[in-house]
Amino acid sequence: MGIAVSPQIHPHVAEFIDQPRKMLINGRWVNAASGKTFPTYNPATGEVLAQVAEGDREDINQAVKAARKAFDNGPWRRMTASERGRRIWKLGDLLEQHTEEFAYLESLDNGKPLNIAKVADVPLAVDLFRYMAGWATKIEGNTIPISAPGFLAYTLREPVGVVGQIIPWNFPLLMAAWKLGPALATGCTVVLKPAEQTPLSALRLGELILEAGFPEGVVNIVPGYGETAGAALADHPDVDKVAFTGSTEVGKLIVHAAAGNLKKVSLELGGKSPNVIFKDADLETAIPGSASAIFFNHGQCCCAGSRLYVEKSVYDQVVEGVAEHARKIKVGSGLDPDTQMGPLVSEEQMNRVCGYLESGFSEGAKAVAGGHKSGGRGYFVEPTVLVDTKENMKVVREEIFGPVVTAMPFTDPEEIVPRANDSEYGLAAAVWTRDIGKAHRMAEQLRAGTVWINCYNIFDAALPFGGYKQSGWGREMGHDVLNLYTQTKSVCARIA
């Protein structure tokens, strides 16, 4: 079923995609209970890349059973924190050793440039595992001086239990790492459902998870569709927590589904992040920085800087500068070493983005760069800069999740905070200025989980990431994420 082995394709990847991929349940690779498979596509060509076992409710049931057994009775619970940490560290090492192979898989399945996956997606995932490996031995409770005499009171931080994790297609490997790393560090067990568009790197990671020595049932990976496998995980009565990254719309469905057993929920959802350039900014960094804020990963970033606000006196210069960057971006197949931007992930996503462009044009927006689908086959869209946009337009209000930025001028620096905050989202924001006081005042006033000053898209395993408002619940990464995967037990003993 795989694509023809071309000299361009990494040999291990060619072998990996040449046969239908199975799902990982209880430490074994198995077919779907239904026997069904589904195709994953190469978005640069639209051709089928590989067939993957199609998980559904019955497979989720089996996976949850395995995770429950591993959590309640398996060697995982008896393992010391140090042993847990060492396995996570080893997983990071194994992943690093296979950097090239994972970069190929990401590029083929998602469309992103191979060279970017090699220096961003894979090393960030490696680093995340290493950072979380260190936390395993540092999860501590407190001793509490309660008021009554003659008692010893303390808290334990305990793993939350069986965790369902549902991830999107924009950073398939990295999102798997963000989810798995803290769950494993805290001693939870997991059922992971990758996105239907990009299941391959998570499945390959599953092989490394077994190699790293995690006991059976600790990590189960069930590919499949959201409405079936994903929904079965979100409403499963024996899942203690669900962690989701994806659209705000589906995030709300997850909250409803979780209500049945009141499982814990954490959500990392959409964004429409404002990127504000003041006239006193260093434009030589602000212009390329703002181009990369939107065009990195083809705009398929939840924190993409998709609303660009520029102080009036430098507006024309900035817009022309960003547009010039957009025009120069080399769009092509992710495997081509010259490519700077690959295709969007799917035909559906391409049509969604083109639909937004149509809507913008019909409401009076103009493109000063791009504005169309690009190329013949494959799901390419031109890097696009829209001007003449107004705050009430769909292209300004809704998450496009494609390489499209709306640029708008502002005159009064006082007006910019309410305009920047005028969104149902609050994931990220950026400010470009040389005035350090203004920068930090803005950072305080912007209602967003991350504020970048004179930079954009800086991520680190140690830096919490997550949303205000409808951009989500909870923070991933940093020590904050440990709260999402542990709960506190108070122990109180009479000792006198």
Alpha-carbon span 433 to 454, nearest angstrom: 7
Interaction residues for ligand NAP, span 145-184 (CB under 6 A)? 166-170
Q: Is 302 a catalytic residue?
A: yes
121 binds, among ligand NAP, Mg ion, none (CB under 5 to 8 A by kind): none
Residue 362 makes CB contacts below 8 A (sequence gap 6+) with none
Does 333 interact with Mg ion (rule: CB under 5 A)?
A: no
337 to each of 108, 114, 329, 334, how far by Cα in Å? 13, 7, 13, 8
Does 465 interact with ligand NAP (rule: CB under 6 A)?
A: no
Smallest separation, CB 444 to Mg ion (Å): 41
Quick one: which of 113, 399, 477, 484 contacts ligand NAP (CB under 6 A)? 399
Quick one: which of 59, 109, 240, 268 contacts Mg ion (CB under 5 A)? 109
Interaction residues for ligand NAP, span 188-227 (CB under 6 A)? 193, 195-196, 225-227
289 binds, among ligand NAP, Mg ion, none (CB under 5 to 8 A by kind): none
Binding mask 294-313 for ligand NAP (x = CB under 6 A): --------x-----------
Q: Is 303 a catalytic residue?
A: no
Q: Which stretch binds ligand NAP (CB under 6 A): 94-102, 128-136, 249-257, 307-315?
A: 249-257
The token pair at 173 is 């490997």
Does 40 interact with Mg ion (rule: CB under 5 A)?
A: yes
40 binds, among ligand NAP, Mg ion, none (CB under 5 to 8 A by kind): Mg ion
Q: Which stretch binds Mg ion (CB under 5 A): 106-114, 155-163, 351-359, 408-416?
A: 106-114
- Exactly one of 54, 268, 399, 476 is catalytic; which is it? 268
Interaction residues for Mg ion, span 164-223 (CB under 5 A)? 197
Alpha-carbon span 77 to 66, nearest angstrom: 14
Alpha-carbon span 135 to 23, nearest angstrom: 29
Residue in 172, 160, 170 with CA at minimum distance from that of residue 221: 172
109 binds, among ligand NAP, Mg ion, none (CB under 5 to 8 A by kind): Mg ion
Does 23 interact with ligand NAP (rule: CB under 6 A)?
A: no
Which letter, b or e, does each residue of 424-433 get, where b requires 16 or more Cβ atoms within 10 Å of its Cβ? Answer: ebbbbbbbbb
Alpha-carbon span 359 to 366, nearest angstrom: 11
Q: In the bound complex, which residue of the shown chain has the CB atom lying closest to ligand NAP?
A: 226
The token pair at 372 is 């169309």
Does 106 interact with Mg ion (rule: CB under 5 A)?
A: no
Does 107 interact with Mg ion (rule: CB under 5 A)?
A: no
Quick one: which of 250, 265, 354, 430 contacts ligand NAP (CB under 6 A)? 250
Cβ-based nearer residue to Mg ion, 336 or 480: 336
Smallest separation, CB 199 to Mg ion (Å): 8
Binding site for ligand NAP (CB under 6 A): 166-170, 193, 195-196, 225-227, 230-231, 234, 245-247, 250, 253-254, 268-270, 302, 352, 399, 401
Please give the positions annotated as active site: 268, 302
Binding site for Mg ion (CB under 5 A): 40-41, 109, 197
